[in-house]
Chain A
Amino acid sequence: SAVISQKPSRDICQRGTSLTIQCQVDSQVTMMFWYRQQPGQSLTLIATANQGSEATYESGFVIDKFPISRPNLTFSTLTVSNMSPEDSSIYLCSVGQGGTQPQHFGDGTRLSIL
């Protein structure tokens, strides 16, 4: 399966600031997704990162808060904007080829906002 690298692996940020998380894959993939995992909880899909076009956001998530880029088939970024303590979570990138092929995940970015 693809090797997925996320940076940073963790960060502590001040409220009101923004952080950009990077996801790099070692091979071209059709689909890239961003998930949030709040402490002790399951994963929730934030958005689908579409190569060459605007990301598709799930209900409850908006582009102004979570802008996403996907300039090519191996790289995507998620920015968490104007952070508040409620944004403290693990943010995970996943990749897949679509259809009935499993998605694979990076190890996530552990974000704490003070």
Chain B
Amino acid sequence: GESVGLHLPTLSVQEGDNSIINCAYSNSASDYFIWYKQESGKGPQFIIDIRSNMDKRQGQRVTVLLNKTVKHLSLQIAATQPGDSAVYFCAATRGAGGTSYGKLTFGQGTILTVHP
């Protein structure tokens, strides 16, 4: 089955720094990956996604990198702000069908704390 894990459970940065959150996945059949941000008392909020036919995707202040060779993805947040403080989860799934179609497997989560 799929397992998705994170290398660092906590990350503390200064405001304005760039943040990098890492994630490893085990199922080479995973072909769609999502990063979520979860603030206290809220459900996970979609940040950015990437399909397995891409290595990099950029959003507003965020970039996701995918390395299928080593089954690793990362989330980079530029110019981190105090409002970015939250728990960040990666999730993996198969978007192309099969019994795991649509089912997300989540990583442990990284607590990002941004100090003013």
Any chain B CB within 8 A of the CB of A39?
A: no
Contact partner of A98 among B42, B44, B101, CB < 8 A? B101
Name the contact of B95 in the complex, choosing from A92, A99, A106 (C-beta under 8 A).
A99
A40-70: which have CB < 8 Å to B?
41-45, 48, 58
How far is B44's CA from A43's CA once the two chains are assembled, in angstroms?
10
Does A103 lie at the interface of the complex (its beta carbon under 8 Å from any beta carbon of B)?
yes
Number of A positions contacting B (CB below 8 A): 25
Q: Mark B54-83, 1 if CB is under 8 A from A, else 0.
A: 000000000000000000000000000000
Question: How far in angstroms is the closest Cβ of chain B from A26?
Answer: 15
Known: A107-B43, A108-B43. A43 touches B89 (CB 8 A): yes
- A108: B residues at CB distance < 8 A: 42-43
Q: B39: shortest Cβ distance to chain A, in Å? A: 10
Let me know if A75 is at the binding interface, CB within 8 A.
no
Check if B41 is an interface residue, CB within 8 A of chain A: yes
How many Å lie between the Cα of A107 and that of B106 in the bound state?
A: 17
Is there a chain B Cβ closer than 8 Å to A104's Cβ? Answer: yes
CA distance A92 to B103 in the complex (A): 14
In the bound assembly, the distance between CA atoms of A92 and B51 in angstroms comes to 24
With A92-B43, A107-B42, A108-B43 given, is the CB distance from A102 to B49 under 8 Å?
A: yes
Q: Which residues of B contact A41 (CB under 8 A)?
A: 108-109
When the two chains form their complex, are residues A33 and B109 in contact, meaning their CB atoms are under 8 A apart?
no
Q: Does B112 contact A (CB under 8 A)?
A: no
Q: Are A102 and B34 in contact (CB under 8 A)?
A: yes
Task: Identify the closest chain A residue to B46 (Cβ).
Answer: A102
Taken together as a complex, chains A and B put the C-alpha atoms of A20 and B7 apart, in Å, by 36
> CB distance B51 to A100 under 8 Å?
yes
Task: Identify 13 residue pairs between A and B in the complex whose beta-carbon atoms are under 8 Å apart, listed by A's number.
Answer: A4-B43, A42-B106, A43-B89, A96-B102, A99-B95, A100-B51, A102-B46, A103-B34, A103-B46, A103-B104, A105-B45, A107-B43, A108-B42
Nearest 7 CB-CB pairings of A with B: A105-B43, A100-B95, A107-B43, A43-B106, A42-B106, A100-B32, A102-B46
